[in-house]
Structure 1
Amino acid sequence: AAPSLPLRAARALYDPLVYRRIRAALGGRVRYVICGGSPLGARLAEFFAGAGVEVFEGYGLTETTAASTVTPPRRPRTGTVGWPLPGTAVRIAGDGEVWLKGGHVFAGYWDAARGAAVPYTDDGWFPTGDLGDLDADGYLRITGRKKDILITSAGKNVAPGPLEDWLRAHPLVAQCVVVGDDRPYVTALITLDHEGLTHWRRMRHKDHLALWELTRDEELLDAVQRAVDDANRLVSRAESIRAFRLLTVELSEASGHLTPSLKLRRRAVLRDFAREIEEMYGQGEEP
């Protein structure tokens, strides 16, 4: 379907004010970008598309000689990592794990005792450890990591990735860690984005407040709650975030809470913020 009139008008306004500057920062003539290594997110991909920069997102692992899927030219579908490359087969296991097969998939991990590479499976499929699904047109969507799946005390499986990715896209949020393993309901630890918070404080004349005061500010809590409510629309009631806590510290590689590739070290976060987590669950009945 063609863009609506309001959307075309908004783009006509944004192009000279915002999009042109982004294209200039990328060299002025860029039309296509290849992305991989970590989730891009549908909203960010749509933003770049609006700026006239098409993002081709790929997916693969070291064990699959890099890319196994990529966005097909002229047939992009945001929120997915595209189609399998020629010679690649993709299969979704019963538990939702993505399995890959093809000539580019490694023979197996080297076993020094046997003096040979030992394949993961006898039939050549390689389980990636990632969770995903294939739509009716063969586009692959990655939804999280198998090892990150949370199982609540009621036995509900929760993939934290979609919730965390959605919240991290909010201007006020830097990092989000969804909690709920062996708990009665799902909660989240959230850190604030420095630039987004600076702008928010300036617009509301709250520059005089310390960070610890802001984490208790009702207006800021309401803004973050609205972001949480938006994220909760992605999942069922049982998987939704019922409570959250704003942290006054930054989660970083230096603090030991992020890997060099900026992935969360969940165990470290759960260990170092155990008190804050217990406080969220120590309020009595489920929110």
Structure 2
Amino acid sequence: MDASALPPRIDINGISLNADPGQRPLQVDSCTTIVSLFASRCAGLGARTAHREKDMGLWKSYSWDDYWTHAKWIGLALRKLGLERGEVVSILSEDRKEWAWLDLGIQCVGGIASGVYTTDSDKQLSYLLRDSDSRFLIVENEEQLDKFLHIEGEVPDLLNVIILEDEGLHDLNHPKCLMIDALYRIGQQAEAAQPGQFEAEIAKADPGDIALLIYTSGTTGPPKGAMLSHENIMAAISSWLHALPVFDTDEQLCFLPLCHILERGVSIYLPLASKCKVNFAESPETVFSNLQEVSPSTFIAVPRVWEKIHSQVTILINEATPLGRKAFHAALVTGIKRAAYLTENKPVPLDLAWRFRLWDFLVLRNLRRMLGLDRLRRGGSGAAPISPELLRWYWAIGVPLVEGFGMTETAGIATINTPVTNRIGTIGRTVPGTELRISEIGEIEARGLNIFKGYWRNNEKTAETFTDDGWLRTGDMGRIDDDGFVTITGRMKDILITAGGKNIAPAEIESRLKFSHFISDAVVIGDARKYLTALIMIDQENVEKFAQEQKVPFSDFPSLCAAKEVRALIGGELDQANKDFARVEQIKDFRIIDVLLTAEDEELTATMKLKRGQVEKSHGKLIEEMYQ
């Protein structure tokens, strides 16, 4: 290509990017595909640490050389075993370094990587493997292998199953199953027989090739496989780096499922560009202790995680001495006043800045250190709405927490607030390279190089998702203010129309309810009804603490939910929330769901989002009680 035809370049944190992220050919450090960027980084960084993971209780480092070598063995072995370019390989595992090795190894030889949530049932696994026509399945351990063994007869086209952990499987003798070490040996033999084959496969990659197949969470029907190309991912990386700085000295903590586009982008693809270090959490259950150990520079989480940290602090403060509680309250009041200036992008008055520095030294700095947020330059929240009050609370304790918006179909990013340009209650401004508009019916529509190619083998759904002039229908309703900040007012499918004809978006009400540290989630009911009601999921830890302090007897979770004192507690929280809404938007009655829901339950997606329709179906009796 003629050099004069290349787009103008800029340098951000030592990374060369298109000056305009929406301009083709899109490049990051002169690379136009994920796999060419991967090869460039491994060659340049070599022995530097790329990943860290705990082994026998100790953090162990793995270099970019390790990354390259294992990805090469994986890719070459899969080709040797029959993988063709454009075919799908599914990965069924919790987060770990091998996830990244597999992801890049598959893509480097032209395969399409598709993640499967470990909480999916064997029935769901069967659907995903058949729908994607996967040729290989990688499973983490015996538990995940059992799912395949239950549905083996339903997926005859699957060539092999590769197992990452051999614990409990030493006597396994199955013609399609092999351990990861055996796969590595096949890759080593393939490399010895044909040196340079891996590099040749990388060179064949085109920006328009499909790199990922990411299945939607299935909140509105069977999951659909969203096809994301190399260009889509490179556009997302470029947009992110234009909007928010990431440095090669940064450390991150990977803990959200890598099946999800947000964590995949933040913990696998963004580090390819920024050269930062990624630490893999031991498990979702240990994320808070791992957070304390790592003290990351940036940390992206779903609202439920940020809510949980807030709840932990609330418990700690309640258990503190009277003097400690008084000091924290004074520090928080000062922090809230300071945050009001910062979140409106205004200079903090000098006297207030000095008062905050004092309380930060005496109280807040130690709190952040205890939480593992002491080195945090920026926190991020996505995947679901977060309460504005919760955002202000984090800013008050010295943690700049910003909210953004993206979806699988936008390669994970479309808008973002930043610590410098931030408007709480909005999802920020569009990232460079992405355009948004509001349709005549109030739906947010998007356009850019990050927009996906369509749904796998589902032309009908693809056509429904795009407008006649090529804009993506996001399914979210919203508005854009004069300064370009975007506000989501609700999901198109979730809008409630009361019996009186009032249109109500439940998302804002639910978000306000969840700010209570006694409420972990809520579903507002009211479609075709005379008034609004709510199904409440209590926060077990905080409500149990309340019950113990108030000497409320309970023997298990259902009895805790049934206690009249707990019902009065939640009723009081709803009364407080109702003050923020018009009369027609106020909750008139509620019921507490007395079952602890996990991602394995039908009511929740793997990313812990409630499936509204399923919740209403499962708890229809409770709903009818509120309208008798």
TM-score by length of 2: 0.41
2:521 to 166, 171, 175: 175
Identity across matched positions, percent: 35
Per-residue CA deviations over 1:73-94 (Å, capped at 9, x if unaligned) read 4122122211112232221223
Structure 2 distance, partners of 1:44, 1:259, is 23
2:400 matched to 1:54? Answer: yes
Structure 1 distance, partners of 2:611, 2:384, is 15
Structure with the bigger percentage of strand:
1
1:255 to 590, 598, 601: 601
- The 5-angstrom pairing of residues 13-162 of structure 1 reads 16-17=362-363, 20-26=366-372, 28-109=374-455, 118=463, 120-162=466-508
Q: CA deviation at 1:143?
A: 2.7
Alpha-carbon contact 1:20-1:51 (below 8 Å) kept:
no
Closer/same/farther in 2, CA of residues 209 and 28 from structure 1, 3 Å limit: same
Per-residue CA deviations over 1:117-163 (Å, capped at 9, x if unaligned) read 85712222211011222223211122322111122222222211111
Structure 2 distance, partners of 1:244, 1:213, is 17
Structure 1 distance, partners of 2:505, 2:472, is 21
1:200 to 515, 523, 546: 546
Match of 2:573 in 1: 227
Q: CA deviation at 1:180?
A: 1.1
- The 5-angstrom pairing of residues 266-281 of structure 1 reads 266-281=612-627
Alpha-carbon contact 2:554-2:563 (below 8 Å) kept:
no
Structure 2 distance, partners of 1:241, 1:96, is 25
2:592 to 246, 263, 266: 246
Structure 1 distance, partners of 2:592, 2:428, is 35
Match of 2:233 in 1: none
Structure 2 distance, partners of 1:72, 1:215, is 39
Once the two structures are overlaid, the 10-residue window that deviates more, 146-155 or 28-37, is 28-37
Q: CA deviation at 1:198?
A: 1.5
Alpha-carbon contact 1:31-1:52 (below 8 Å) kept:
no
Q: CA deviation at 1:45?
A: 1.7
1:185 to 527, 531, 538: 531
Structure 1 distance, partners of 2:392, 2:585, is 26
Structure 2 distance, partners of 1:90, 1:258, is 29
Per-residue CA deviations over 1:161-211 (Å, capped at 9, x if unaligned) read 111122122111122111112211111111221111122112212245765
Closer/same/farther in 2, CA of residues 210 and 263 from structure 1, 3 Å limit: closer
Structure 2 distance, partners of 1:150, 1:92, is 20
Closer/same/farther in 2, CA of residues 124 and 164 from structure 1, 3 Å limit: same
Q: CA deviation at 1:113?
A: 7.6
Closer/same/farther in 2, CA of residues 172 and 11 from structure 1, 3 Å limit: farther
Structure 2 distance, partners of 1:7, 1:185, is 46
Amino acid at match of 1:131: M
Amino acid at match of 1:144: G
Alpha-carbon contact 1:151-1:182 (below 8 Å) kept:
yes
Structure 1 distance, partners of 2:370, 2:385, is 24
Amino acid at match of 1:146: M
Structure 1 distance, partners of 2:542, 2:358, is 25
Alpha-carbon contact 1:69-1:81 (below 8 Å) kept:
yes
Structure with the bigger percentage of helix:
2
Per-residue CA deviations over 1:236-266 (Å, capped at 9, x if unaligned) read 2222211111232223323321110111122
Q: How many residues align?
A: 280
Structure 1 distance, partners of 2:571, 2:371, is 34
Closer/same/farther in 2, CA of residues 27 and 41 from structure 1, 3 Å limit: closer
What SS does the aligned partner of 1:201 have? helix
Amino acid at match of 1:222: A
What SS does the aligned partner of 2:484 have? coil
Amino acid at match of 1:189: L
